[in-house]
């Protein structure tokens, strides 16, 4: 049977899509290759939120095609995902040797296209929008002819037994932040029904999954048009409650939310629902009201700080992380200083700092005053210094304390050890073994590595037990 290698460049959403595509290929009798060299078909699933992921994937593809040509391997190559969606047929034109381009609405057709290529019934395929014509001609379907109901077609995956799993709850985004390419690569918001999501989550838990992360581009907007507010609780909180009720589930997370989605109902849910971990991601993007407006973010610095305050009141010790963009067009030194002061004021546990990258057909790419790279680089470094200093101090504050981790398996950094995550999503490495996998374990933090904690199991074998009194759950 032909083997396929699927590699992901980019975000969790893409990781999740790659899992679903892999499951589809396996269900159709293909095997998953261990690496690019041994695969009959190589698929790169690529994010286009920032230019870096695109460039990496393009470079990788170029070199794979080069090697395959030289060694006459006869391998087939394809791009999946956001970049495939936004660049479409242009990719085939620019890259001789590329065989397949599949957009974000068309993952469910991956196996069909792969088989057609391998059988020789299709030569080169672009599938980025609704069907028209035959498969063996190159079709230029421009971005996003939306298919109603497509979210249903993307599920459900048959992922291998694992401790922590993603469940896709929605696709697309209607926020239209001026820097962001997602509305054109993923389209309008479409939410899956609550029952369908709960059924998928329940099946995962029955297979041993202990932690579920609800996944979407803007999860806090989940189901707004589909479900009425009930007792002051919006659709997203109703969904959280329904998944939270699944017996055997230990932890519930979600990503990525929008700050404006942290209404009173969600903030209160953190205090009320014990499986909802104390970890909130609130992508702020900038500390300057002027830039927040230009970015079309829908909140002010003051409102943002108020939400953080409310979260910390509802759930003391909650971990707070963020995304920040430096060098948005027209960002002045004063705007940047506002971002620095916001970072200091909040004290984020973690912040992902991105250099602004102009994306095609986004309003920000057409703004005047695009900043020189050198300015962006310099601000990026300054901000990282502040972010890291705050984040590292938070790690050091944990030394000597006992935290609850969910053990995921052998450590990715040190195969001789095991690792798990705290409820606040920090990785803890400890001396464990296979019997710890999937267990909730109390560990005492001994020391700090580079964004990692090293722990010693304080109480072993707490399978499924609630955290002991010694544990501070909010870590
Ligand atoms: N340039 C830089 N960063 C971006 N992001 C989204 N679009 C861009 C862009 N054009 C960042 C935002 C977002 C994260 C997923 O990626 O910070 O929250």
Average pLDDT, the chain: 87
**Residue with more model confidence, 198 or 468:** 198
**Residues 273-294, mean pLDDT to the nearest whole number:** 97
Structure tokens at 66: 């080069």
- Check if the beta carbon of residue 427 is closer than 8 Å to that of residue 449: no
Residue 176: which region, alpha, beta or left (left: phi > 0; alpha: psi -120 to 50)?
Answer: left
**Higher confidence at residue 153 or residue 283?**
283
- In what order do the strands lie in the sheet containing 350-355? 279-281, 319-326, 350-355
Give the model's confidence band at 162: pLDDT under 50 very low, under 70 low, under 90 confident, else very high.
confident
Instruction: State phi, psi for 10 to the nearest 5 degrees.
Output: 135, -145
Element (H, E) at 421: strand 418-422
CA 181 to ligand 1: nearest atom: 7
- Closest atom of ligand 1 relative to the 283 alpha carbon: 18
Give the residue, out of 48, 323, 327, with the most ligand 1 atoms within 8 A of its beta carbon, to mutate for a pocket test: 323
Q: Other C-beta atoms within 10 Å of 87: how many? A: 25
Q: Is the CB of 215 under 6 A from ligand 1?
A: no
pLDDT reported for residue 222: 97
Residue 357 CB less than 6 A away from ligand 1: yes
Q: Whose CA is nearest to atom 13 of ligand 1?
A: 323
Q: How far is the CA of 59 from the centre of ligand 1 (A)?
A: 21
Q: How confident is residue 368, by pLDDT bands cut at 50, 70 and 90?
A: very high
Q: Output the residue whose Cα is nearest ligand 1's atom 7.
A: 180
Confidence of residue 475 (pLDDT cuts 50, 70, 90): low
Distance 48 CA to ligand 1 centre (A): 10
- Alpha-carbon distance of 463 to 373, in angstroms, equals 51
180 Cβ inside 6 Å of ligand 1: yes
* DSSP labels, 298-320: S--HHHHHHHHHHHHHHSTT-EE
The two three-digit tokens of residue 39, written as one number: 């695969």
* Ligand 1 pocket residue status of 168, Cβ below 6 Å: no
User: Quick one: pLDDT at residue 161?
Assistant: 56
State pLDDT tens for residues 96-154.
Answer: 999 999 998 889 899 999 999 998 888 899 998 743 333 322 222 222 222 333 333 33
- Distance, in Å, from the CA atom of 341 to the CA atom of 23, rounded to the nearest integer, reads 46
CB 329 within 8 A of CB 367: yes
Which of 325, 350, 356, 376 most suits a substitution to test ligand 1, by most atoms within 8 Å of the C-beta?
Answer: 325
Q: Which residues pair with 276 in a beta bridge?
A: 252
Question: Looking at the DSSP assignment, which residues form a beta bridge with residue 230?
Answer: 233
Whole-angstrom distance, CA of residue 321 vs CA of residue 347? 9
> Do 26 and 32 form a contact (C-beta atoms < 8 A)?
yes
> What are the residues whose beta carbons fall under 8 Å from the beta carbon of 95, sequence distance 6 or more?
58, 61, 62, 65
pLDDT at residue 421, as a whole number: 94
Q: Residue 159's pLDDT band (boundaries 50, 70, 90)?
A: very low
233 lines ligand 1 (CB under 6 A): no
403-425 pLDDT, tens digit per residue, is 999 999 999 888 889 999 999 98
Least confident of 157-166, 260-269, 377-386: 157-166
Q: State whether the beta carbon of 135 lies less than 6 angstroms from ligand 1.
A: no
Check pLDDT > 50 for residue 462.
Answer: no
What string of DSSP letters covers 239-268? Answer: HHHHHHTSTT--EEEEE---GGG--HHHHH
- 50 within ligand 1 shell (Cβ under 6 A): yes
Report the range out of 20-24, 164-168, 331-335, 395-399 with the highest average pLDDT. 331-335
**Is ligand 1 within 6 A of the CB of residue 328?**
no
467 or 270: which leads in pLDDT: 270
Structure-token pair, residue 196 = 């369908």
Probe target for ligand 1 pocket from 47, 50, 82, with the most ligand atoms within 8 Å of CB: 50
- Whether 30 shows a pLDDT value over 50: the answer reads yes
Query: Cα(358)–Cα(174) distance, rounded to whole angstroms?
Result: 19
Q: What's the pLDDT at 413?
A: 81
Residue with tokens 């078909």: 41
CA of 398 relative to ligand 1 center, distance in Å: 30
Residue 173, SS3 per DSSP:
coil
287 and 340 in contact (C-beta within 8 Å)? Answer: yes
Nearest CA residue ID for atom 5, ligand 1: 49
Distance 46 CA to ligand 1 centre (A): 15
CA distance 290 to 292: 6
* Closest by CA position to 451, among listed 416, 474, 424: 424
Most confident of the following: 31-45, 174-188, 280-294, 456-470: 280-294
Judged against a pLDDT cut of 80, whether residue 474 lies above it is answered with no
Residues in CB range of 466: below 8 A, 6 or more apart: 274
pLDDT above 90 for 49 = no
Q: Whose CA is nearest to atom 18 of ligand 1?
A: 323
Q: Both ends of the chain: CA-CA distance in Å?
A: 47
Is ligand 1 within 6 A of the CB of residue 283?
yes
Contacts of 387 (CB under 8 A, 6+ apart): 324, 343, 348, 351, 353
Dist. CA 189–CA 184, nearest whole Å = 11
Name the pLDDT band for 463 (thresholds 50, 70, 90). very low
pLDDT digits (tens, 9 = 90+) for 182-203: 888 888 999 999 999 999 999 9
DSSP state of 182: H
């Amino acid at each position: 049977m032909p083997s396929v290698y699927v590699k992901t460049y980019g975000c969790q959403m893409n990781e999740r899509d790659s899992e679903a595509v892999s499951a589809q290929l396996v269900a159709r009798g293909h095997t998953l290759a261990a690496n690019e060299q041994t695969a009959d078909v190589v698929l790169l699933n690529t994010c286009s939120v920032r230019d870096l992921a695109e460039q990496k994937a393009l470079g990788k593809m170029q070199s794979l095609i080069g090697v395959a040509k030289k060694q006459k391997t006869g391998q087939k190559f394809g791009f999946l995902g956001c970049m495939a969606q936004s660049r479409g047929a242009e990719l085939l034109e620019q890259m001789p040797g590329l065989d397949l381009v599949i957009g974000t609405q068309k993952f469910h057709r991956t196996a069909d296209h792969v088989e057609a290529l391998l059988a020789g019934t299709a030569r080169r395929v672009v599938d980025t929008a609704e069907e028209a014509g035959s498969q063996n001609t190159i079709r230029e379907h421009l971005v996003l002819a939306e298919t109603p109901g497509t979210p249903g077609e993307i599920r459900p995956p048959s992922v291998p037994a694992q401790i922590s799993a993603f469940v896709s709850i929605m696709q697309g985004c209607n926020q239209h932040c001026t820097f962001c390419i997602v509305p054109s690569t993923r389209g309008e918001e479409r939410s899956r029904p609550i029952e369908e999501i709960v059924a998928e989550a329940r099946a995962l838990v029955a297979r041993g999954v202990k932690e579920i992360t609800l996944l979407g581009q803007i999860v806090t907007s989940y189901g707004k048009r589909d479900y009425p507010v009930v007792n002051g609780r919006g659709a997203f909180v109703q969904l959280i409650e329904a998944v939270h009720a699944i017996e055997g589930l230990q932890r519930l997370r979600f990503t990525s939310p929008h700050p404006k989605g942290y209404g009173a109902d969600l903030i209160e849910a953190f205090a009320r629902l014990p499986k909802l971990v104390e970890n909130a991601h609130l992508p702020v993007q900038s500390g300057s009201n002027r830039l927040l407006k230009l970015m079309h973010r829908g909140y002010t610095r003051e409102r943002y700080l108020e939400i953080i305050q409310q979260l910390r009141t509802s759930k003391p010790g909650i971990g707070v992380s963020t995304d920040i963009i430096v060098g948005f067009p027209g960002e002045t030194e004063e705007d940047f200083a506002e971002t620095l002061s916001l970072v200091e004021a909040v004290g984020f546990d973690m912040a992902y700092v991105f250099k602004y990258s102009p994306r095609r057909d986004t309003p920000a790419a057409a703004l005047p005053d695009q900043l020189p790279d050198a300015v962006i680089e310099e601000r990026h470094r300054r901000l990282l210094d502040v972010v890291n200093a705050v984040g590292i101090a938070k790690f050091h504050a944990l030394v000597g304390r006992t935290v609850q981790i969910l053990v995921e398996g052998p450590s990715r950094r040190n195969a001789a050890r095991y690792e798990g995550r705290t409820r606040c999503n920090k990785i803890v490495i400890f001396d464990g073994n296979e019997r710890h996998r999937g267990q909730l374990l109390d560990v005492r933090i001994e020391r700090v590595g580079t964004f990692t904690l090293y722990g010693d199991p304080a109480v072993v074998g707490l399978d499924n037990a609630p955290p002991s009194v010694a544990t501070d759950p909010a870590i």
